[in-house]
Structure 1
Amino acid sequence: MTTLSYADSALSLLPPVVAILLAIFTRRVLFSLGIGILLGAVLITDFSVMSSGQYLGEQVVGLFWDDGSINSWNIYLLGFLILLGMITALITVSGAAKAFADWARTKIRNKRDAKLLTMFLGCVIFIDDYFNSLVVGSVARPLTDRYYISRSKLAYLLDSTAAPICVISPVSSWGAYIIALIGGILTAHGFTDSGHLSVFIQMIPMNFYAIFALLLLLCVAFMGLDIGPMRQHELNAQKGNLYDEAKGLPPGANTDLPEADNGKILGLFLPITVLVFSTFYFMVSSGGDALADKGLEFSLLGAFENTDVASSLFFGAAVGLASTLALVLIQGLNKSYILQGMVAGARSMLPAIYILLFAWTIAGVIGQLETGKYMASLATGNIPFALLPAVLFVLAGLTAFSTGTSWGTFGIMLPIAADMAMGTHTNMMLPMLASVLAGAVFGDHCSPISDTTILSSTGANCHHIDHVITQLPYALIVAAISLAGYTVLGFTESLAAGLVTCSILFVITIIVLKIKVNRRA
Structure 2
Amino acid sequence: MEQVIRVLTTIRPKRSLFLSVMVTLATIGFFWYLSATHAPGDNWGAKALFPTLFVLTIALISRAPFESLLAGVIAGLIMINNTSVVSPLSDTLSAVMSNETIIWIVLVCGLMGGLIVLLERSGCLGSFSDWLKGKIRSRRQSLLTTFFIGLVVFIDDYLNCLAVSSSVKKVTDHYNVSREKLAYIIDSTAAPMCILVPVSTWAVFFSGLLEENHLAPDGGGLSVYISAIPFMVYGWIALLLVFLVALGVVGNVGPMKKAEARAMAGKPVPDDYDGNSMEAAPSSNRKQTSSFVGMMNFLLPMVILVASTVYYEVDLLRGVIVTLAITVALYYVQGLLTLEEQFKGIFEGFKVMLYPLSTVIAGFMLKSINDQLGMTQYLVEVVSPLMSAELMPAMVFLVMAAVVFGTASSWGSFIIAIPIVVPIALGVDANMALVIGALLSASSFGSHACFFSDSTVLAAQGAGCSPMSHALTQLPYTAIGAAVSFGIFMVLGYTM
- What's the TM-score bracket when you normalise by the shorter of the two chains? 0.7 to 0.9
Check conservation: 1:76, 1:313, Cα contact below 8 A: no
Give the secondary-structure state (helix, strand or coil) at the position aligned to 2:190.
helix
**1:3-59, CA deviations, whole angstroms, 9 ceiling, x for partnerless residues?**
9867663222112221122112221222211211110111222x11xx211011112
Structure 1: which 5+ runs fail to align?
Answer: 286-302, 494-521
Letter in 2 for 1:242: P
Q: CA deviation at 1:327?
A: 1.9
Q: Taking structure 1 as reference, are residues 236 and 184 closer, same or farther at Cα in structure 2, changes over 3 Å only?
A: same
Check conservation: 1:399, 1:409, Cα contact below 8 A: yes
Aligned equivalent of 1:180, options 200, 208, 217 = 208
The CA distance in 2 between the partners of 1:339 and 1:172, in whole Å, is: 29
Letter in 1 for 2:325: V
**1:295-348, CA deviations, whole angstroms, 9 ceiling, x for partnerless residues?**
xxxxxxxx45xxxx464255245326525xx42662455889767755654432
Equivalent residue, structure 2, for 1:499: none
The answer on 1:484 being equivalent to 2:487 is yes
Equivalent residue, structure 2, for 1:15: 51
The answer on 1:107 being equivalent to 2:111 is no
Equivalent pairs counted in the alignment come to 457
The CA distance in 1 between the partners of 2:408 and 2:259, in whole Å, is: 25
Instruction: Compute the RMSD of aligned alpha carbons.
Output: 3.1
Q: Taking structure 1 as reference, are residues 320 and 472 closer, same or farther at Cα in structure 2, changes over 3 Å only?
A: farther
Equivalent residue, structure 1, for 2:438: 435
Aligned equivalent of 1:319, options 318, 325, 343 = 325
Check conservation: 2:211, 2:218, Cα contact below 8 A: no
The CA distance in 2 between the partners of 1:201 and 1:434, in whole Å, is: 10
Equivalent residue, structure 2, for 1:262: 288
The CA distance in 1 between the partners of 2:440 and 2:339, in whole Å, is: 49
Equivalent residue, structure 1, for 2:469: 466
Check conservation: 1:254, 1:345, Cα contact below 8 A: no
Letter in 2 for 1:28: A
Equivalent residue, structure 2, for 1:359: 363
Equivalent residue, structure 2, for 1:52: 85
Check conservation: 2:262, 2:268, Cα contact below 8 A: yes
Letter in 2 for 1:57: S
Check conservation: 1:243, 1:463, Cα contact below 8 A: no
Q: CA deviation at 1:457?
A: 1.6
Q: CA deviation at 1:98?
A: 2.8
Check conservation: 1:6, 1:369, Cα contact below 8 A: no
Q: Taking structure 1 as reference, are residues 4 and 279 closer, same or farther at Cα in structure 2, changes over 3 Å only?
A: farther
Aligned equivalent of 1:161, options 189, 199, 218 = 189
TM-score by length of 2: 0.82
The CA distance in 2 between the partners of 1:5 and 1:270, in whole Å, is: 60
Q: Taking structure 1 as reference, are residues 322 and 386 closer, same or farther at Cα in structure 2, changes over 3 Å only?
A: same
Q: Taking structure 1 as reference, are residues 259 and 137 closer, same or farther at Cα in structure 2, changes over 3 Å only?
A: farther
The CA distance in 1 between the partners of 2:296 and 2:409, in whole Å, is: 32
Give the secondary-structure state (helix, strand or coil) at the position aligned to 1:226.
coil
Check conservation: 1:6, 1:43, Cα contact below 8 A: no
Give the secondary-structure state (helix, strand or coil) at the position aligned to 2:391.
helix
The answer on 1:274 being equivalent to 2:301 is yes
The CA distance in 1 between the partners of 2:419 and 2:356, in whole Å, is: 33
The CA distance in 2 between the partners of 1:182 and 1:332, in whole Å, is: 47
**1:368-426, CA deviations, whole angstroms, 9 ceiling, x for partnerless residues?**
33322222222322444422221111001011112212212333333433322221224
**1:140-181, CA deviations, whole angstroms, 9 ceiling, x for partnerless residues?**
222222222221111111111111111121111111222223
Letter in 1 for 2:399: L
Check conservation: 1:393, 1:438, Cα contact below 8 A: yes
Equivalent residue, structure 2, for 1:299: none
Mean Cα deviation higher: 338-347 or 18-27: 338-347
The CA distance in 2 between the partners of 1:114 and 1:194, in whole Å, is: 42
Question: After the TM superposition, which residues 110-509 of structure 1 pair with which residues of structure 2 at under 5 Å, given as runs?
Answer: 110-187=138-215, 196-223=221-248, 225-254=251-280, 262=288, 264=291, 266-267=293-294, 269-271=296-298, 273-278=300-305, 280-281=307-308, 284-285=311-312, 303-304=313-314, 309=315, 311-312=317-318, 314-316=320-322, 318-319=324-325, 321-323=327-329, 326-327=330-331, 330-332=334-336, 341=345, 344-426=348-430, 428-493=431-496
Q: CA deviation at 1:350?
A: 2.6
Q: CA deviation at 1:355?
A: 2.1
The CA distance in 1 between the partners of 2:382 and 2:132, in whole Å, is: 51
Q: Taking structure 1 as reference, are residues 179 and 75 closer, same or farther at Cα in structure 2, changes over 3 Å only?
A: closer
TM-score by length of 1: 0.79
The CA distance in 1 between the partners of 2:40 and 2:186, in whole Å, is: 38
The CA distance in 2 between the partners of 1:479 and 1:404, in whole Å, is: 16
Equivalent residue, structure 1, for 2:29: none
Give the % identical residues. 29
The CA distance in 2 between the partners of 1:418 and 1:194, in whole Å, is: 19
